[in-house]
């Protein structure tokens, strides 16, 4: 049996007990850490930590998206390091790639993700106040959309909300972008960031768990703090430095192709499954 996230993996644990099968658990992020950041309910925090511990200790193998996740599972739950395999989130590089002949539009900034407090979009909106020629396209939906639209109107910001886009539409938008920004307070292993990098867009990400494991400052992306002032400083430097943008563009594409392609992810998982006794 194989599960895809911790918060549903208890079903796999029960199935393992009932049928005596090998259990492979995958987690793109640590569920207990996300719950602690999004709720003040002590019983939800305790219950989540208990379920995560039970799943981690019951699994025969665990797939995580980042080395930091593996370290937490080993130190927090006593998981055998040999049972944990790191397979980063993958990107379809046949679809998400630089498009020859597409010229990024000057001042075009793009964000892709849920409109949720985690993503820290209010700080991004404050950061772009008064920046001449800057246009922000927000892709995605969520509980903060109405308040963010109101904020953009009140502050006279040049922001376009396009809602959710299909994977067929998103690469074209990314290729037209001069900069991609992910200003989150925390992440797991952000696929939107990887897709932007795969399209050759210079990216700005905040110095938080999940992002700082992906970006090498000034090599594969620009890393900054989470405050509006930090994000504004990063934007100004990147928008005004064509050579830096070119370096980040090349570094980002190379990183995704070498570490996060679908072929690499499939190859690693096939090798993992083939190593199991049940194989």
pLDDT tens for each residue of 10-58? 999 999 999 999 999 999 899 999 999 888 899 999 999 999 999 999 9
Reduced DSSP (H G I as helix, E B as strand, rest coil) percent helix, strand, coil of the chain, to 5? 45, 15, 40
**Alpha-carbon distance 214 to 166, whole Å?**
24
pTM of the predicted structure, to 2 decimals: 0.93
Mean pLDDT (whole number) for 56-67: 95
**Alpha-carbon distance 19 to 13, whole Å?**
10
pLDDT digits (tens, 9 = 90+) for 193-242: 999 999 999 999 999 989 999 999 999 999 999 999 999 999 999 999 99
**Alpha-carbon distance 165 to 174, whole Å?**
11
pLDDT given for residue 277 in this prediction: 80
Q: Give which of 174, 209, 201 is closest to 65, Cα–Cα.
A: 209
pLDDT digits (tens, 9 = 90+) for 121-161: 999 999 999 999 999 999 999 999 999 999 999 999 999 99
pLDDT given for residue 215 in this prediction: 97
pLDDT given for residue 279 in this prediction: 56
**Alpha-carbon distance 186 to 202, whole Å?**
20
CA dist 100 → 97, 104, 196 (Å): 9, 11, 16
Mean pLDDT (whole number) for 82-93: 95
pLDDT given for residue 3 in this prediction: 95
Exposed, middle or buried by CB within 10 Å (0-12, 13-18, 19+), for 53? Answer: middle
| Residue recorded with tokens 């995704």 | 256
* Pair of tokens at residue 63: 């797939």
pLDDT given for residue 278 in this prediction: 64
CA 251 to mean position of chain CA atoms: 17
């Amino acid at each position: 049996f194989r599960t895809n996230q911790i918060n549903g993996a208890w079903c796999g644990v029960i199935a393992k007990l009932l049928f005596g099968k090998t259990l492979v658990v995958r987690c793109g992020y640590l569920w207990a850490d996300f719950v602690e950041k999004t709720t003040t309910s002590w019983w939800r925090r305790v219950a989540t930590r208990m379920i995560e511990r039970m799943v981690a200790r019951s699994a025969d193998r665990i797939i995580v998206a980042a080395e930091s996740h593996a370290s937490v599972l080993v130190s927090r739950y006593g998981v055998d390091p040999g049972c944990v395999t790191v397979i980063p989130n993958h990107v379809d590089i046949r679809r998400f790639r630089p498009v020859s002949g597409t010229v990024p539009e000057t001042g075009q900034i793009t964000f892709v993700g849920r409109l949720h407090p985690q993503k820290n979009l209010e700080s991004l909106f404050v950061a772009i106040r008064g920046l001449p020629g800057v246009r922000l396209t927000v892709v995605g939906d969520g509980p903060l959309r109405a308040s963010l639209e109101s904020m953009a109107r009140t502050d006279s910001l040049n922001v376009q909300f396009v809602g959710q886009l299909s994977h067929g539409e998103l690469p074209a938008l990314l290729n037209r972008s001069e900069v991609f920004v992910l200003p989150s307070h925390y992440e797991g292993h952000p696929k939107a960031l990887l897709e932007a990098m795969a399209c050759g867009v210079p990216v700005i990400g905040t110095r938080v768990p999940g992002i700082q494991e992906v970006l090498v400052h000034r090599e594969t992306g620009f890393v900054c703090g989470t405050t509006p002032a930090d994000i504004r400083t990063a934007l100004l430097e990147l928008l005004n430095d064509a050579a830096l943008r070119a370096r980040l563009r090349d570094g980002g594409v190379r990183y995704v192709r070498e570490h996060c392609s679908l072929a690499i992810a499939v190859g690693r998982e096939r090798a993992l499954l083939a190593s199991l006794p049940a194989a």
